[in-house]
Amino acid sequence: MTNKVATLNLGDQQVDLPVVSGTVGPDVIDIRKLYAQTDCFTFDPGFTSTASCESQLTYIDGDEGVLLHRGYSIEELSEESSFMEVSYLLLNGELPSKQELDDFSYTISRHTMLHEQLATFYRGFRRDAHPMAIMCGVVGALSAFYHDSTDIADPVQRKIASHRLIAKMPTIAAMAYKYSVGQPFIYPDNKLSYTGNFLRMTFGVPAEEYEVIPAVEQALDRIFILHADHEQNASTSTVRLAGSSGANPFACIAAGIACLWGPAHGGANEAALNMLREIGTPDKIPHYIERAKDKNDPFRLMGFGHRVYKNYDPRATVMQKTVREVLTALKVNDPIFEVAMQLEEMALNDPYFIEKKLFPNVDFYSGIILSAIGFPTTMFTVLFALARTVGWVAQWNEMISDPGQKIGRPRQLYTGPTARPYVPVSKR
């Protein structure tokens, strides 16, 4: 709370609203009592000016291009840290000691296996099912396996559920891929790192020894760090809203996966690479830029623009650097990278994109890396979901442990018909 007060004049009525400050970032006007005092709601479709909760996890300054997890910059974390360490940080608030990190990694590795019964769920899907459809279904189904053992009021049980989700996502994701290509599921090998294990479960086959390439493992681990959490984005808000009713956490994460799938959110990485492949060669870029600017054409530059970042998405900077490293390490010469860089340059010099503050976001370059590693485009959003699970469970835990937590229940501006008498069908 600050000493500041926002005064709202509503006809003859004057209402003082408290102004609350966070540790950094814009103040918020506390409108919780507004309806009781004035009989008015606020109207903010898409939450463009609304803080939906209090949180200590992630801070974004969209004007300065800053992203901090628990106070640590994404640049430093992606350079110096590991996905397991960032997961610990997000869940617990502090960086772990060496022993704490070893214990955490060990605990996660003990939960990587799936109940064998769950494997049968995959067979209910068509082979050509989108892996995100499989993820929604299988992660949702986990709730059936742990519903009776998950008391969300108990922090220990919440922790176990969180560890299970983080640990099982790579197994579930790899199995979704294996199912689509008709190869046998590969069981986890807990000698490997979290990311190495995922690579082996995805690309290994029983007939051959799979060797994890360190450069690939490191790049993918970094991609996971870049996607771990991102404040109150659409899927995180979905998880919080679902969880606010006291729902089973596995079901809440399935809700988050469903939301993430959309092309305006996590589905943009798949859409961005498809777009770059469609453009194909640098000479076609101007045509696509013109299309993106045309109000009568629904086409948008995928991997461009962000609700919060109005300067540059700091994750895109790290991602662009990682593309170079991976392509060099794998000796891949993907002409799409050249198309992407020229497209970025052209867009950043175009008055439309300058004026609207549209810059590459995290999804613009990630697809090039994932494609070089060998993932089909349909798996891109699955990898995003895998990494974001950490953020989702951390945010869900934070919400449930908040004593002031209430069920999420927005109101509306009703513009439909007023009350009218029912007319029997014979008289219509």
Using CB under 6 A as the binding rule, whether residue 277 contacts ligand CMC is answered as no
Out of 203, 288, 304, 396, name the contact with ligand CMC by CB under 6 A: 304
Binding segment (CB under 6 A) for ligand CMC, from list 53-61, 304-312, 365-373, 420-428: 304-312
77-116: contacts with ligand CMC (CB under 6 A): none
Out of 356, 401, 402, 410, name the contact with ligand CMC by CB under 6 A: 356
Using CB under 6 A as the binding rule, whether residue 306 contacts ligand CMC is answered as yes
Binding segment (CB under 6 A) for ligand CMC, from list 169-177, 273-281, 295-303, 403-411: 295-303
Q: Are 257 and 78 in contact (CB under 8 A)?
A: no
Using CB under 6 A as the binding rule, whether residue 188 contacts ligand CMC is answered as no
159/293 with CB nearer ligand CMC:
293
Q: How many CB atoms lie within 10 A of CB 190?
A: 17
Using CB under 6 A as the binding rule, whether residue 268 contacts ligand CMC is answered as yes
218-237: contacts with ligand CMC (CB under 6 A): 230, 233
Q: Walk across the sheet containing 58-61 and list its strands.
A: 58-61, 66-69, 72-73
To the query of whether residue 111 is one of the catalytic residues in this protein, the response is no
Binding segment (CB under 6 A) for ligand CMC, from list 141-149, 357-365, 401-409, 414-422: 357-365
Specify which residues 66 forms β-bridges with.
Answer: 61
What is the smallest separation between the CB atom of 268 and ligand CMC, expressed in angstroms?
3
What is the smallest separation between the CB atom of 48 and ligand CMC, expressed in angstroms?
7
**Which residues in 105-118 are b (16+ Cβ under 10 Å) and which e?**
beebbebbebeeeb
94/290 with CB nearer ligand CMC:
290
What is the smallest separation between the CB atom of 306 and ligand CMC, expressed in angstroms?
5
Report the alpha-carbon distance of residue 361 to residue 268 in Å, rounded. 10
To the query of whether residue 265 is one of the catalytic residues in this protein, the response is no
287/356 with CB nearer ligand CMC:
356
Using CB under 6 A as the binding rule, whether residue 266 contacts ligand CMC is answered as yes
Q: Are 90 and 69 in contact (CB under 8 A)?
A: yes
Q: How many CB atoms lie within 10 A of CB 222?
A: 24
Report the alpha-carbon distance of residue 424 to residue 428 in Å, rounded. 7
Using CB under 6 A as the binding rule, whether residue 69 contacts ligand CMC is answered as no
Concatenated DSSP letters for 152-180?
Answer: TTSHHHHHHHHHHHHHHHHHHHHHHHHHH
Q: Considering Cα of 42, then 43, then 48, then 54, what sign does the dihedral take?
A: positive
Out of 130, 363, 369, 382, name the contact with ligand CMC by CB under 6 A: 363
What is the smallest separation between the CB atom of 57 and ligand CMC, expressed in angstroms?
15
Using CB under 6 A as the binding rule, whether residue 264 contacts ligand CMC is answered as yes
Out of 186, 362, 368, 382, name the contact with ligand CMC by CB under 6 A: 362
Burial environment of residue 418 by CB neighbours within 10 A (0 to 12, 13 to 18, 19 or more): exposed
What is the smallest separation between the CB atom of 88 and ligand CMC, expressed in angstroms?
23
Using CB under 6 A as the binding rule, whether residue 361 contacts ligand CMC is answered as yes
DSSP class of residue 230 equals B
Binding segment (CB under 6 A) for ligand CMC, from list 22-30, 70-78, 128-136, 353-361: 353-361
Query: Which of 306, 313, 350, 402 is the catalytic position?
Result: 306
- Would you give the end-to-end CA distance of the chain in angstroms? 58
Q: Give the residue carrying structure tokens 């998880």.
A: 239
Which amino acid type is present at position 94? E
Out of 259, 301, 319, 373, name the contact with ligand CMC by CB under 6 A: 301
Report the alpha-carbon distance of residue 149 to residue 223 in Å, rounded. 33
Out of 159, 277, 307, 310, name the contact with ligand CMC by CB under 6 A: 307
CA dihedral 331, 336, 339, 344 (to 10 degrees): -90
Comparing CA positions, the residue from 53, 46, 153, 47 lying closest to residue 395 is: 53
Out of 302, 318, 340, 394, name the contact with ligand CMC by CB under 6 A: 302
Specify which residues 28 forms β-bridges with.
Answer: 20
Using CB under 6 A as the binding rule, whether residue 65 contacts ligand CMC is answered as no
Report the alpha-carbon distance of residue 139 to residue 158 in Å, rounded. 16
Report the alpha-carbon distance of residue 27 to residue 47 in Å, rounded. 16
DSSP class of residue 415 equals -
Residue number closest to ligand CMC, CB atom:
305
Using CB under 6 A as the binding rule, whether residue 291 contacts ligand CMC is answered as no
Looking at the annotation, which residues are catalytic?
306, 363
List residues near ligand CMC by CB under 6 A: 230, 233, 264-266, 268, 292, 300-307, 356, 358, 361-363
